[in-house]
């Protein structure tokens, strides 16, 4: 079988795709021929991203909504399916992080991270999965983290959701696999994005990342695109229920 990364005719919805990792993945999917649905909470940011992608020859569509609002998300997915006919590829990328000592963390902040990082991924997979089952073809790609494998202090909700996302990925894989749908996750390491700007500008933390990563540097958003394209394509059809870790070797190292 020849390698086939062509996504022409596919429709891909990428949550949180107006910036950072989500934007890079949406762009990569579009460059491979997919129609991409751009999502974010800000109407203006979504529109700007759609305009930019369209100017580059990518078929892009706007879907401004909050993935953590279950009813709104359900209706938004249904609207996109009605407009575009289907959703073939879902990239669950939208996520947040809250930094606070576990012993000081209140219930509200804990639940908010759970709602955005885990529950929303379930809702999106369920709603998009209905379209995929009808077409007997689908790809669900959850953007987890190296924190699905290890943990750091002060981010207990984030770590918990990313471990939970690994479990959700496996559950989706075994239940939806018979319908021609695969579910996998990508575990990024420390990636240069605006959300990590404060960490990058912290000399001590920046040095920690470089020291703990065998390749000696932070990753870039574009270095996640290859894994996403593979999992979304026909060439990834037999890869199901697994994690691809893109972290420069950080979780392979003991030092």
Catalytic-labelled residue, pool 158, 190, 238, 255: 158
Q: Is 255 a catalytic residue?
A: no
CA of 118: how far to CAs of 54, 94, 162, 218, in Å? 31, 10, 8, 25
Which of the residues are catalytic? 158
């Amino acid at each position: 079988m020849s390698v086939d990364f062509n996504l022409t005719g596919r429709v891909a919805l990428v949550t949180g795709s107006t910036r950072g990792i989500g934007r890079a993945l949406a762009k990569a999917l579009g460059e491979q021929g997919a129609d991409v649905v751009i999502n974010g909470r800000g109407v203006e940011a979504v529109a700007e991203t759609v305009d930019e992608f369209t100017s580059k020859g990518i078929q892009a569509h706007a879907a401004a909504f909050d993935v953590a609002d279950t009813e709104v998300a359900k209706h938004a997915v249904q609207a996109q399916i009605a407009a575009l006919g289907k959703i073939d590829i879902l990239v669950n990328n939208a996520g947040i992080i809250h930094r606070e000592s576990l012993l000081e963390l209140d219930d509200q902040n804990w639940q908010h991270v759970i709602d955005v990082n885990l529950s929303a991924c379930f809702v999106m997979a369920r709603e998009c999965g209905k379209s995929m089952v009808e077409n007997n073809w689908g790809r669900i790609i959850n953007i987890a983290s190296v924190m699905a494998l290890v943990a750091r202090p002060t981010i207990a909700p984030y770590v918990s959701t990313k471990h939970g996302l690994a479990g959700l990925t496996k559950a989706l894989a075994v239940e939806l696999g018979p319908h021609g749908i695969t579910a996998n996750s990508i575990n990024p390491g420390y990636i240069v994005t605006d959300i990590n700007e404060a960490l990058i500008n912290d000399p001590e933390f920046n040095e920690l990342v470089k020291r703990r990563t065998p390749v000696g540097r932070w990753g870039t958003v574009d270095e996640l695109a290859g894994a996403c394209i593979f999992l979304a394509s026909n060439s990834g059809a037999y890869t199901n229920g697994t994690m691809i870790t893109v972290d420069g070797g950080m979780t392979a190292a003991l030092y």
